[in-house]
Amino acid sequence: MKKVRDNLASSPVSPDAFSHVLFISDLHLCASRPHITNAFLDFIKNTASKASALYILGDLFEYWAGDDDVDAHHQVIITAFSTLADSGVKIYFMHGNRDFLIAEKFCHSAQITLLPDPTLIDLYGKKTLLSHGDALCTDDLAYQSFRLQVRNTSWQAQFLSQPLQSRKQQIEAIRLRSEQEKSQKSMLIMDVNQEAVEALIAAYDYPALFIHGHTHRPNEHHTKVSGHDITRWVLGDWYEQGSYLICSENGCKAIRLPEVQAGN
């Protein structure tokens, strides 16, 4: 229980005094999908700017080779975040499986607060657990082994010590291999494991809400864990269109943005 209390003590300020809070994940922003980047920039300017806080629960970028990889596309995103923060919106980011190398330099430039995975917050009086969600896909043993390797600080230090171009080439090779392996995997093992979900909920003292991404299977799940009513929101991805979860003192609602076609 000490772990739960410590996370609560260090969690972001409760948004009780504000209108609403937004949650997004799995945008996979990259220069090769400018229509999605434009949809995201429009979301930041016209939707997120009206919120009190924006939480990004991982996979903001298709991949992140290190904080020294700031090209023109990345700079546009950083500037949009910084402008949003200057307007008074609090921005929080949690690592995903594609961008776990985002570090303090990026967060400082973008005026973003980096959150541990998982994190507990007080959301309008409801204890709420946030996670990217990939650690819950425990049936995918190969992925969990890979995750354990790349989240190791020694591995990351060794990787980041290499030239940027070499890092990017290695990431592209890993992505290609991952896509090939996905085509051979059962869809079931790439979803969260229910026992892992319930174990995490129990470890964090049964929060009323649990919000995560990663699986690209947006939905609202209602379940009981040891007699406690739990609502689990799964955030959507941004491949064909954007989506977000909006939460206020009246509850949460999933919103899909208009579909965006490449070239439009």
Instruction: Determine the 3-state secondary structure of 197 from DSSP.
Output: helix
Domain covering 2-259 in this structure, CATH number: 3.60.21.10
Q: Is the dihedral of CA 161, 106, 61, 207 positive or negative?
A: positive
Residue 189 or 133, more confident = 133
- The phi and psi torsions of 54 (rounded to 5 degrees) equal -125, 125
Residues constituting the chain: 264
- What pLDDT was estimated at residue 6? 36
For strands 219-225 and 228-234, give the pairing: antiparallel
Please work out, in degrees rounded to the nearest 5, the angle formed at the alpha carbon of residue 263 by the alpha carbons of 29 and 55: 25
* % of the chain at pLDDT higher than 90: 83
**Neighbour tally for 99: CB within 10 Å:** 23
Q: Which two tokens stand for residue 187?
A: 């869809």
Rg (CA), the chain: 18
What confidence tier does 261 reach under pLDDT thresholds 50, 70, 90? confident
Q: pLDDT tens across 72-83, in order?
A: 999 999 999 999
pLDDT exceeds 80 at position 111: yes
Sequence spans of domains, the chain: 2-259
pTM: 0.91
Cα 138 versus chain centre, distance: 18
d(CA 73, CA 104): 19
Please work out, in degrees rounded to the nearest 5, the angle formed at the alpha carbon of residue 172 by the alpha carbons of 166 and 174: 105
pLDDT exceeds 60 at position 2: no
d(CA 89, CA 82): 10
Q: pLDDT tens across 127-155, in order?
A: 999 999 999 999 999 899 999 999 999 99
